[in-house]
Chains A and B, each alone.
Chain A
Amino acid sequence: MTQTVAGRYAGARVPRVEDSRLLTGHGTYVDDVTRPGMLHACFVRSPFARARIDGIDASAALAFPGVRAVFTAGDLNPEVKEAWHAVVGKDVPDTPRPPLAEGEAKFVGDPVALVVAENRYIAEDAVDLVEVDYEPLPAVADFTQAIRLAADAGVVVHEAYPDNVAGGMGGAPPNEETFASAAHVVKANVYQQMYAPVPIETRGLVVEWQAASGELTVWASTQIPHELRAFSARLLGIPAHNVRVIMRDTGGGFGQKVVPMREDMCILLAARKLPTALKWIEDRRENLMSAGQARHVDGTVRMAFDEEGTILAADIDFMQDIGAYPTPYPVLTTAAIGMFFPGPYRMPKASFNYKTVFTNTAGLAAYRGPWQYETLSREILLDIGARTMGMDPVELRRGNILRCDEMPYFSATGMPYDHVAPADTFEQAVKILNHEGFRKEQREALAQGRYIGLGFSAYIEPTAGATGNLATEGATIRMESTGKINVYVNGGSTGNSIETTVVQLAADALGADIEDVGTIQGDTAVTPYGAGAQGSRSGPMTAGAVSEAGAVLRKQITAMAAHRLGVEESDIELGGSNAFVREDPSTRVSFADIAYRAYYEPQQLPAGMAATLEATARYTAPTPFTWANATHACTCEVDVQTGQVTLTRYIVSEDVGPMINPNVVEGQIAGGTVQGIGGALLENMVYDDDGNPLSSTFVDYLLPTATEVPTIEYGHIEIPGPGVGGYKGVGEGGAIGSTPAVINAVNDALAPLGVTVTRLPASPAALVDLIEQAAK
């Protein structure tokens, strides 16, 4: 296997370098950026789920004091040169994505016009003055009816897709003989509601165009500075080297900020028509109405078992709601649900089939663990199977979960698992929980009429997926003239602490004291290209880039030190921001002296030795996937009179390889886990039958707060991955495993009442309804 970097800082709970500025209110988020004469944008949005736009009268708005411009589709849309996204590539046929609604508004919140004014207050006043002549049309509000509505009533979201189906895919057909002959077959319909990333900082950007120089500067709330730069250049048809994207702090993304959306296109296009910078800061209603949706899958899952409960085959057949304007192209990303469905289990036969359907809702966008439904539906079904076969869910999983000694292992859908041991995280979680103890407690509680339950969920997760532009990451490390070290990486941190981990890794790579290392991120003018903070890749990929650039710089430092100390390079050690002779550490030269010599006395260097004290490298992932894995275990109590679910314990045992910084790892797990808890119990982006969004404020869209979440207990298994340092990604896992763990705990608690939740979220009202039905 690969050697892991035994470092002074890597693996330690190093305090974050980001924190002092963020704790004192001195971070720089996009809304904190102001430019001379800056103007403010606000969108006119459709109140109809679907309506023909017969005309737009902006005269009253334009006459309003302080209003500078009102743009409509005719002004902006024709200016688009190219609008493809790197994560999909330019050769894949894309779904429609006009900047402003063209001819027809296709969801409530669809941007129809763009008002530009001297400040946001005036812009909002003017939005109310824009007269749009709508002819309401029948809409597709319920994605499960999308195909029927197209066929029966001709209600179609996009003319180019007359059946409302964007696409789909089927692997090998289900092995029906196995299902027919198996000792046990279980089947369930699992419906997952629509919910969304909901970062506390909404989307936004400031765009400044300088016509004379042809330069475009973009301050953005983004996870992908370099790809936003490339996208902007393509969109406007200007050279990328004339585009500079700057992001210092971004207030959360969780996928929402990995791909530029329609509003971003509008602001980029509009700024080019304005003499000064243009700022757009999305408000919360806009964010909940139009920043994209996630999950929302309806499917049927089946599993066949033998007498002992060994899995023989599994099948998943599902449909995902992609709304009106999915970003990016949704058909391929949805395939992941089918391909990862076998999960961390021995599953000889597995099949999947799916469709993605358009509706008159915002549109599918990336969200932490986009394929989560595979784990949700599989883990719920496993518990149903266990109950059906009279087994404990723990026993059923124990008998089927993959062990380290079985690696490498190819899943029935062709996924090449390796460097991972699902059985280890599972057994660790069972141990931390004290499974037997809980079952005893549960029997006693039931005797007193209390309903408590336990839920498990295990998954295997592809991190640092090395496809397309995600396969490499760059880093530049420079020893400045002072001997201090700066690490330049793409960054795109939205809270993933990459500033801190990069400093830890660089300090170790060069033997520098951590105080002597800084990092510059998020400015495309000075950082090498990188694919940004997405796909649980920042840790492993950036570690690789830092390691490779560090090795080159280390050699340069060593060479200069050896000459200075008159010894062989092989005698030189680096440590404590010094270079010293291994046998005689007192013979040393500081990094500061080395830098002084290189920058200020280069002629003192031996002939032929370059004065270079910096290195740039681009790391390529060694494998298509770096497999991480975790098991979640959750206990809860259900108040069967009100339907209230109280989570009592929560355990995550996870393997992300060696941890660069355990605080960061646990922080990522906790944040993801609580988002998944929200998805299980609280968060629900509801549309009514007419396609009106009913959760467009924080009053109606229920984020978990400190009172709804339990203390999370962590267990760590550190099986090195294939890449540098053996590091694996950790960004998404928590959000994948927690939803099914919570639902399984609720189902375990309510099993004595014959209640099984398969429709999310498990709201109190929904639970009470199920309990009443079961009683009848």
Chain B
Amino acid sequence: MEFVNEFRVPVPINQAWEVLTDVERVVPAIPGAQLLSVDGDNFTGTVKVKVGPITMQYKGNASFEDKDSSAHRAVIRADGKETRGQGNASAVVTAELKDEGETTSCVLTTDLTISGKAAQFGRGILSDVATKLIGQFAERLEADLVAPPSSETPTESPRTLSAAPQSESGASLDLLGVVALPIAKRVLPVAGALAAGLAIGYLLGRRR
């Protein structure tokens, strides 16, 4: 399943690239993410996603597939395993920055594969969830980027333009949905993998 999320930060592209590839600044911005270890090319982290009563925690490691500082493009492959249960999540996250003068747009393309209970109950609102998480990420990141906080923070607050299909892309995606009900009408954990991908991805960014 592919998701495209876009957000803007009110800083020039080089500054954005610097920040976006700075582990210490990016990780805290990722919902539920925690860096466990940085070991050469290998980074491990956890992402804990809570939705109502449901908690899904993935422990992940990531490998860096491509990073082009001139094109401001980074590709990260991340794999996470549920810390409880037999489920897995893997994500290939491509982050591309676009120079828009005073602002920079960041396009995240996430190819997500989920297995385990999360996949069996939760496909219905994945894009909704991913969008929400990235939105949170963007807000926190922006707050960080415009720090030190001044009274006139940018008027344009980050908008999340979800290019992800609201599951209207035909029957196949509809089948990925999950029927509403008391158990897990909507399960977010899948988003954990997405966040994991981001987390680890940006951790990797640090390595240069």
Q: Which residues of A contact B (CB under 8 A)?
A: 44-48, 108, 127-128, 132, 134, 136, 686, 688-690, 692-697, 699-700, 702, 765
Q: How far does the alpha carbon of A395 sit from the alpha carbon of B39 in the complex, in Å?
A: 79
Contact (Cβ within 8 A) B86 A694: no
Asked if A128 meets B85 with Cβ closer than 8 Å, knowing A690-B113, A694-B176, A697-B183, the reply is: yes
Asked if A694 meets B87 with Cβ closer than 8 Å, knowing A47-B116, A48-B115, A108-B115, the reply is: no
- Cβ of B69 to closest chain A Cβ, rounded Å: 31
8 pairs, CB–CB < 8 Å, chain A vs chain B: A47-B86, A134-B88, A689-B172, A693-B120, A694-B120, A694-B123, A700-B121, A765-B174
Cβ < 8 Å to A, chain B residues 111-153: 113-116, 119-121, 123
Instruction: Report chain A residues within 8 Å CB of B181.
Output: 699-700
The 8 A-B pairs with the shortest beta carbon distances in the complex, nearest first, are: A699-B181, A47-B116, A692-B119, A47-B115, A47-B86, A688-B176, A700-B179, A699-B183
Among A132, A696, A699, which residue has its beta carbon within 8 angstroms of that of B86?
Answer: A132
Contact (Cβ within 8 A) A47 B183: no
Instruction: Report chain A residues within 8 Å CB of B183.
Output: 697, 699
Q: How far does the alpha carbon of A132 sit from the alpha carbon of B87 in the complex, in Å?
A: 11
Instruction: Report chain A residues within 8 Å CB of B85.
Output: 128
Chain A residue nearest to B124 (CB atoms) is: A694
Instruction: Report chain B residues within 8 Å CB of A700.
Output: 121, 178-179, 181
Contact (Cβ within 8 A) A128 B115: no
- Cβ of B121 to closest chain A Cβ, rounded Å: 8
Contact (Cβ within 8 A) A128 B86: yes
- Cβ of B36 to closest chain A Cβ, rounded Å: 17
Chain B residue nearest to A288 (CB atoms) is: B120
Chain A residue nearest to B177 (CB atoms) is: A694
Contact (Cβ within 8 A) A48 B88: yes
Instruction: Report chain A residues within 8 Å CB of B119.
Output: 47, 688, 690, 692
Asked if A690 meets B115 with Cβ closer than 8 Å, knowing A699-B183, A700-B178, the reply is: yes
Instruction: Report chain A residues within 8 Å CB of B177.
Output: 694
Contact (Cβ within 8 A) A47 B87: yes
Instruction: Report chain A residues within 8 Å CB of B116.
Output: 47
Instruction: Report chain A residues within 8 Å CB of B175.
Output: 686, 688-689, 694
Knowing that A688-B176, A689-B175, A692-B114 touch, tell me 6 more A-B residue pairs with CB under 8 angstroms.
A45-B86, A47-B88, A127-B86, A136-B88, A694-B120, A694-B175
Cβ < 8 Å to A, chain B residues 82-128: 84-88, 90, 113-116, 119-121, 123
Among B115, B178, B182, which residue has its beta carbon within 8 angstroms of that of A136?
Answer: B115
Instruction: Report chain A residues within 8 Å CB of B88.
Output: 47-48, 134, 136
Instruction: Report chain A residues within 8 Å CB of B115.
Output: 47-48, 108, 136, 690, 692
Chain A residue nearest to B181 (CB atoms) is: A699
Chain A residue nearest to B85 (CB atoms) is: A128
Chain A residue nearest to B184 (CB atoms) is: A699
> How many residues on chain B are close to A (CB under 8 Å)?
24
Most buried by B among A45, A46, A686, A765: A686
Chain A residue nearest to B176 (CB atoms) is: A688
- Cβ of A309 to closest chain B Cβ, rounded Å: 35
Instruction: Report chain B residues within 8 Å CB of A686.
Output: 175
Q: Which residues of B contact A (CB under 8 A)?
A: 84-88, 90, 113-116, 119-121, 123, 172, 174-179, 181-183
Q: How far does the alpha carbon of A280 sit from the alpha carbon of B75 in the complex, in Å?
A: 46
Chain B residue nearest to A127 (CB atoms) is: B86
Q: How far does the alpha carbon of A699 sit from the alpha carbon of B177 in the complex, in Å?
A: 13
Instruction: Report chain B residues within 8 Å CB of A695.
Output: 179
Q: How far does the alpha carbon of A128 sit from the alpha carbon of B115 in the complex, in Å?
A: 15
Most buried by A among B114, B116, B120: B120
Contact (Cβ within 8 A) B182 A699: yes
Asked if A696 meets B113 with Cβ closer than 8 Å, knowing A686-B175, A688-B175, A688-B176, the reply is: no
Q: How far does the alpha carbon of A276 sit from the alpha carbon of B171 in the complex, in Å?
A: 51
- Cβ of A761 to closest chain B Cβ, rounded Å: 13
Contact (Cβ within 8 A) A694 B178: yes
Q: How far does the alpha carbon of A690 sit from the alpha carbon of B119 in the complex, in Å?
A: 9
- Cβ of B55 to closest chain A Cβ, rounded Å: 14
- Cβ of B90 to closest chain A Cβ, rounded Å: 8
Instruction: Report chain A residues within 8 Å CB of B121.
Output: 697, 700
- Cβ of A724 to closest chain B Cβ, rounded Å: 49
Contact (Cβ within 8 A) B84 A692: no
- Cβ of A143 to closest chain B Cβ, rounded Å: 14
Instruction: Report chain A residues within 8 Å CB of B120.
Output: 108, 692-694, 696
Q: How far does the alpha carbon of A47 sit from the alpha carbon of B85 in the complex, in Å?
A: 10
Q: How far does the alpha carbon of A45 sit from the alpha carbon of B178 in the complex, in Å?
A: 21
Instruction: Report chain A residues within 8 Å CB of B90.
Output: 136
Contact (Cβ within 8 A) A699 B179: yes
Chain A residue nearest to B183 (CB atoms) is: A699
Instruction: Report chain A residues within 8 Å CB of B176.
Output: 688-689, 694
Instruction: Report chain B residues within 8 Å CB of A699.
Output: 179, 181-183
- Cβ of A760 to closest chain B Cβ, rounded Å: 14
- Cβ of A478 to closest chain B Cβ, rounded Å: 52
Chain A residue nearest to B83 (CB atoms) is: A128
- Cβ of A543 to closest chain B Cβ, rounded Å: 44
Q: How far does the alpha carbon of A108 sit from the alpha carbon of B88 in the complex, in Å?
A: 12
Contact (Cβ within 8 A) B84 A128: yes
Chain B residue nearest to A129 (CB atoms) is: B84
Q: How far does the alpha carbon of A765 sit from the alpha carbon of B170 in the complex, in Å?
A: 12
Q: How far does the alpha carbon of A230 sit from the alpha carbon of B142 in the complex, in Å?
A: 70
- Cβ of A132 to closest chain B Cβ, rounded Å: 7
Instruction: Report chain A residues within 8 Å CB of B114.
Output: 692
Q: How far does the alpha carbon of A48 sit from the alpha carbon of B114 in the complex, in Å?
A: 9
Instruction: Report chain A residues within 8 Å CB of B172.
Output: 689
- Cβ of A422 to closest chain B Cβ, rounded Å: 38
Instruction: Report chain B residues within 8 Å CB of A46.
Output: 86
Q: How far does the alpha carbon of A171 sit from the alpha carbon of B184 in the complex, in Å?
A: 48
Instruction: Report chain B residues within 8 Å CB of A689.
Output: 172, 175-176
Chain A residue nearest to B172 (CB atoms) is: A689
- Cβ of B92 to closest chain A Cβ, rounded Å: 13
- Cβ of A299 to closest chain B Cβ, rounded Å: 20
Chain B residue nearest to A696 (CB atoms) is: B120
Instruction: Report chain B residues within 8 Å CB of A108.
Output: 115, 120
Most buried by B among A45, A689, A693, A700: A700
Instruction: Report chain A residues within 8 Å CB of B179.
Output: 695, 699-700, 702
- Cβ of A253 to closest chain B Cβ, rounded Å: 25
Q: How far does the alpha carbon of A108 sit from the alpha carbon of B87 in the complex, in Å?
A: 11
Most buried by A among B90, B119, B178: B119
- Cβ of A100 to closest chain B Cβ, rounded Å: 15
Q: How far does the alpha carbon of A257 sit from the alpha carbon of B194 in the complex, in Å?
A: 42
Instruction: Report chain B residues within 8 Å CB of A136.
Output: 88, 90, 113, 115
Q: How far does the alpha carbon of A718 sit from the alpha carbon of B52 in the complex, in Å?
A: 60
- Cβ of B111 to closest chain A Cβ, rounded Å: 12
Most buried by B among A688, A693, A695, A765: A688
- Cβ of A764 to closest chain B Cβ, rounded Å: 13
Chain B residue nearest to A49 (CB atoms) is: B115
Instruction: Report chain A residues within 8 Å CB of B182.
Output: 699
Instruction: Report chain B residues within 8 Å CB of A128.
Output: 84-86
- Cβ of A620 to closest chain B Cβ, rounded Å: 48
- Cβ of B89 to closest chain A Cβ, rounded Å: 10
Instruction: Report chain A residues within 8 Å CB of B84.
Output: 128
Q: How far does the alpha carbon of A697 sit from the alpha carbon of B182 in the complex, in Å?
A: 11
- Cβ of B16 to closest chain A Cβ, rounded Å: 34
Q: How far does the alpha carbon of A136 sit from the alpha carbon of B114 in the complex, in Å?
A: 11
Q: How far does the alpha carbon of A765 sit from the alpha carbon of B167 in the complex, in Å?
A: 14
Instruction: Report chain B residues within 8 Å CB of A696.
Output: 120
Chain A residue nearest to B88 (CB atoms) is: A47
Q: How far does the alpha carbon of A688 sit from the alpha carbon of B179 in the complex, in Å?
A: 13
Q: How far does the alpha carbon of A696 sit from the alpha carbon of B177 in the complex, in Å?
A: 13
Q: How far does the alpha carbon of A602 sit from the alpha carbon of B109 in the complex, in Å?
A: 92
- Cβ of A138 to closest chain B Cβ, rounded Å: 11
Most buried by B among A46, A136, A692, A696: A692
Q: How far does the alpha carbon of A695 sit from the alpha carbon of B90 in the complex, in Å?
A: 22
Q: How far does the alpha carbon of A128 sit from the alpha carbon of B82 in the complex, in Å?
A: 10
Chain B residue nearest to A44 (CB atoms) is: B86
